[in-house]
């Protein structure tokens, strides 16, 4: 796209002026077309100074999540091939599912500045104000439905690695899908699949990261349970940078996963686990019990030894770590 190319040329010049003529020449378009594209960039929130007979200069980027910003310099092949950004959505899951059902490409990403009906696991509400990263990715893995839990674990590893790499924080994973820092939940993952008994048609991986969210303001009831990266670091961080880095990590792991190397990812998951070895309380639809989290099996299910010594396989449910 011409607009993307102009933006990247302006960015390369690092706030120096670039003449309209040189842009036109480089891109093989007229100067009027350059001007029209600059106008379009301004509409998206970019601040571009224009000086007659000198040219254009990029002086400011929008703080909004835009396709242009996310895709600029994104080093992936599949993830983010298409990025749809919205100012407000009910839930990115719903839009991603619609796109998936319409046959969109694997790796399509839906991002929202905020969600009005963000969804968590087990039908819970997911508070999604401005400042967080709320995104869904469409996947089309060639796996039997019983392996879908593996994707949750893959995603947890990708998020934890991204947080570790970008901010140097000790991110851990609580089975099956919470990413914690210092014991506080900073990210939740919701994986939904559509398919038949023996094959998956598509999966939608929803990731919610409390990046720059102030819980004391938006939801005081979550203070002490959830925290945001900005609260932990004491400064705001770039959502675009997080999304790009996460897509890179996720793609790397997904490619490994597609090559039947889930076992390698499981080793990483276990190294990042906050749950294994701990006393846990499991609450499922039918019952609640306490035990010791022993391991995660190759399907991604949690193995818990209960008081009578038997080992139970936890497929779904809520697991809390008991720290006494
Ligand atoms: C959980 O821990 O309960 C899972 C939370 C998942 C939240 C994300 S935010 C992006 C995507 N859209 C949603 O409505 N939910 C997921």
In the reported structure, the alpha carbon of residue 169 is separated from the centroid of ligand 1 by a whole-number distance in angstroms of 22
Instruction: Report the pLDDT value the prediction gives residue 72, as an integer from 0 to 100.
Output: 84
* Ligand 1 contacts CB of residue 136 (under 6 A): yes
Taking the CA atoms of 96, 228, 88 and 35 in sequence, report the sign of the dihedral they define.
Answer: negative
In the reported structure, the alpha carbon of residue 76 is separated from the centroid of ligand 1 by a whole-number distance in angstroms of 23
Q: Which atom of ligand 1 is nearest to the CA of 132?
A: 9
* Ligand 1 contacts CB of residue 15 (under 6 A): no
Mean pLDDT value of segment 135-160: 95
The bridge status of strand 302-306 relative to strand 288-296 is antiparallel
Strand, helix or coil for residue 69:
helix
Instruction: Report the pLDDT value the prediction gives residue 45, as an integer from 0 to 100.
Output: 85
Mean pLDDT computed over every residue of the chain: 93
Mean pLDDT value of segment 24-31: 95
Q: Show Cβ contacts of residue 119 under 8 Å, excluding neighbours closer than 6 positions.
A: 91, 93, 125, 126, 190, 206
Mean pLDDT value of segment 165-178: 96
- Band of residue 12 on the pLDDT scale cut at 50, 70, 90: confident
Model pLDDT for residues 182-225, shown as the tens digit of each residue? 999 999 999 999 998 888 999 999 999 999 998 888 888 888 88
Mean pLDDT value of segment 23-48: 93
Model pLDDT for residues 255-286, shown as the tens digit of each residue? 999 999 999 999 999 999 999 999 999 998 78
Instruction: Report the pLDDT value the prediction gives residue 324, as an integer from 0 to 100.
Output: 64
Model pLDDT for residues 117-138, shown as the tens digit of each residue? 999 998 899 999 999 999 999 9
CA gap 209, 242 in Å, rounded: 9
Q: Show Cβ contacts of residue 118 under 8 Å, excluding neighbours closer than 6 positions.
A: 91, 125, 126, 127, 128, 134, 208
Instruction: Tell whether the model's pLDDT for residue 163 goes beyond 70.
Output: yes
* Ligand 1 contacts CB of residue 206 (under 6 A): yes
Enter the pTM of the model: 0.90
* Ligand 1 contacts CB of residue 239 (under 6 A): no
CA gap 168, 179 in Å, rounded: 14
Model pLDDT for residues 88-126, shown as the tens digit of each residue? 999 999 999 999 999 999 999 999 999 999 999 988 999
In the reported structure, the alpha carbon of residue 127 is separated from the centroid of ligand 1 by a whole-number distance in angstroms of 9
Instruction: Report the pLDDT value the prediction gives residue 198, as an integer from 0 to 100.
Output: 86
């Amino acid at each position: 796209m011409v607009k993307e190319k102009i933006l990247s040329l302006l960015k390369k010049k690092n706030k120096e002026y670039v003449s309209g003529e040189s842009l036109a020449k480089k891109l093989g378009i007229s100067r009027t077309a350059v001007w029209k594209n600059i106008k379009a960039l301004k509409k998206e929130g970019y601040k571009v100074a224009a000086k007659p007979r000198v040219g254009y200069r990029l002086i400011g980027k929008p703080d909004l999540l835009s396709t242009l910003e996310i895709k600029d310099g994104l080093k992936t092949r599949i993830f983010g091939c298409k990025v749809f950004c919205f100012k407000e959505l009910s839930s990115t899951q719903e839009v991603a599912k619609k796109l998936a059902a319409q046959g969109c490409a694997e790796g399509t990403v839906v991002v929202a500045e905020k969600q009005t009906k963000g969804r968590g696991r087990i039908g819970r509400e997911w508070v999604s104000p401005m400042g967080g990263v709320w995104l869904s990715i469409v996947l089309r893995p060639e796996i039997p439905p019983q392996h879908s839990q593996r994707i949750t674990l893959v995603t947890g590893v990708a998020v934890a690695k991204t947080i570790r790499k970008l901010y140097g924080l000790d991110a851990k994973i609580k089975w099956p899908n919470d990413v914690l820092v210092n014991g506080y939940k900073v990210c939740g993952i919701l994986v939904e699949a559509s398919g038949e008994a023996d094959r998956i048609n598509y999966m939608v991986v929803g990731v919610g990261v409390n990046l720059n969210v102030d819980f004391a303001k938006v939801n005081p009831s979550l203070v002490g349970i959830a925290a945001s990266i900005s609260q932990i670091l004491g400064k705001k961080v770039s959502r675009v940078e997080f999304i790009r880095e996460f897509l890179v990590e996720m793609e790397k792991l997904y490619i490994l996963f597609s090559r039947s190397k889930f076992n390698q990812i499981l080793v990483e998951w276990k190294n990042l686990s906050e749950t294994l070895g701990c006393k846990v309380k499991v609450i499922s639809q039918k019952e609640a019990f306490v035990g010791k989290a022993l391991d995660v099996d190759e399907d991604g299910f949690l193995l818990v030894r209960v008081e009578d010594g038997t080992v139970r396989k936890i497929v779904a449910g809520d697991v809390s770590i008991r720290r006494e």
